[in-house]
């Protein structure tokens, strides 16, 4: 079974990508709705909450756990990976998004948008800096410095959850957030939040055709295929009966309603105490 963990229902954008690509796997999705949103919390609190939720998924017998939440990936992935030491395998969403951005960026001008927590953590900057230089795909010898421009967008999560997507207010707020990134002439923009794929079309339209927009949800799933190739034993261990369980630590009705919108299908949600 694969466990997918998020602060709430946003991680269903990651689940949706998984279901498209690997419909036969058994999945358990856990959203910590009782403590959502994670974005405004301190690093210490996100770490403590993530540990508790991951412990729960490990007890359920997950062989692979995906930390779908960017904020939890930024603040707590290393800690949970160190605790479990590969048993089970625990992966986040930041490294896959960084790799996709790095590969596709033409000039190394990369923007990142996310919650306050993600931007404050500097996790995307750190991962991008590891690459140091960007080899332009057109000229293997051309080295370009990677420059990262980050922007916290704290108003987007509540707007998206309320379903206020194609509203003039949302467009105005979005335009304000994206303006500094447009002015910096970024050629690639990472959507470093579970929720932003719901605004991806609008964001891509505003950024214009010279900017590639990368969803961390999609990148996380794209990265798993080579991972499975490199780790065939893990692939064998994951049960494949097409099972799905949706668990939340609070408000199952709200979770089912909004989560259903994120996933694009009706879901049954169970409340769990962890
Ligand atoms: N899941 C969070 C993320 O991707 C967004 C919602 C929240 O702040 O909890 O960072």
> How many angstroms separate the alpha carbon of residue 144 from the centre of ligand 1?
31
The pLDDT value given to residue 138: 55
Q: Do 2-92+220-271 and 95-216 show the same overall fold?
A: yes
Residue 33 CB less than 6 A away from ligand 1 = no
Residue 203 has pLDDT above 70, yes or no: yes
62 is catalytic: no
Whole-number Å distance between alpha carbons of 77 and 90? 8
- Residue-range domain boundaries for the chain: 2-92+220-271, 95-216
Question: Separation of 139 CA from ligand 1 center, angstroms?
Answer: 37
pLDDT digits (tens, 9 = 90+) for 66-100: 999 999 999 999 999 999 999 999 999 999 999 99
Q: Domain 2-92+220-271: which topology? A: Rossmann fold (3.40.50)
Cα–Cα dist 49/1, whole Å: 22
Surface-to-core class of residue 141, CB atoms within 10 Å of its CB (0-12 exposed, 13-18 middle, 19+ buried): exposed
CB of 6 within 6 A of ligand 1: the answer is yes
Residue whose tokens read 């609190």: 45
What pLDDT score was predicted for residue 167?
95
Strand partners, 151: 113
Ligand 1, atom 2, lies closest to the CA of 69
Among 62, 153, 193, 211, which one carries the catalytic annotation?
193
Q: Provide the pLDDT for residue 58.
A: 98
CATH of domain 95-216: 3.40.50.1860
β-partners of residue 111 are 149, 189
How many angstroms separate the Cα of 23 from the Cα of each of 45, 241, 243, 244, 255?
34, 9, 9, 10, 22
Q: Which of 194, 199, 215, 248 to mutate to test the pocket of ligand 1 (most atoms within 8 A of CB)?
A: 194
Letter string b/e over residues 192-201, b meaning 16 or more CB atoms within 10 A of that residue's CB: bbbbbbbbbe
Residue from 13, 29, 37 whose mutation best tests the ligand 1 pocket (most atoms within 8 A of CB):
37
Span 211-268, pLDDT tens digits? 999 999 999 999 999 999 999 999 999 999 999 999 999 999 999 999 999 999 999 9
**Other CB atoms closer than 10 Å to residue 245's CB: what's the count?**
17
Is 69 among the catalytic positions? Answer: yes
pLDDT digits (tens, 9 = 90+) for 32-74: 999 999 999 999 999 999 999 999 999 999 999 999 999 999 9
């Amino acid at each position: 079974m694969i466990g997918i963990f998020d602060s709430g229902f946003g991680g269903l954008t990651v689940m949706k990508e998984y279901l498209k690509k690997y419909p036969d796997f058994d999945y358990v999705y856990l959203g910590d709705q009782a403590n959502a949103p994670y974005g405004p919390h301190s690093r210490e609190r996100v770490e403590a909450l993530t540990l508790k939720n991951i412990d729960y998924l490990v007890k359920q017998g997950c062989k692979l756990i995906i930390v779908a939440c960017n904020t939890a990936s930024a603040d707590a992935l290393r800690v949970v990976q160190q605790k479990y030491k590969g048993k089970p395998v625990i992966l986040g969403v930041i490294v896959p998004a960084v790799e996709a951005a790095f590969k596709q960026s033409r000039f190394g001008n990369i923007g990142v948008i996310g919650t306050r927590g993600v931007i404050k953590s500097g996790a995307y900057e750190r991962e991008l800096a590891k690459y140091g230089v960007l080899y332009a795909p057109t000229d293997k010898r051309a080295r370009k410095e990677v420059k990262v421009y980050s922007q916290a967008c704290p108003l987007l999560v509540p707007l998206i959850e309320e379903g206020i997507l194609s509203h003039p207010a949302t467009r105005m707020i979005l335009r304000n957030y994206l303006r500094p990134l447009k002015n910096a002439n970024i050629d690639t923009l990472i959507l470093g939040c579970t929720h932003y794929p719901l605004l991806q079309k609008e964001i891509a339209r505003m950024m214009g055709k010279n900017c590639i927009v990368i969803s961390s949800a999609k990148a996380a799933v794209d990265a798993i295929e080579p991972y499975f190739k490199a780790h065939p034993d893990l692939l064998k261990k994951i049960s494949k009966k097409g099972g799905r369980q949706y668990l939340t630590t609070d408000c199952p009705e709200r979770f089912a309603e909004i989560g259903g919108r994120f996933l694009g299908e009706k879901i049954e949600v169970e409340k769990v105490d962890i």
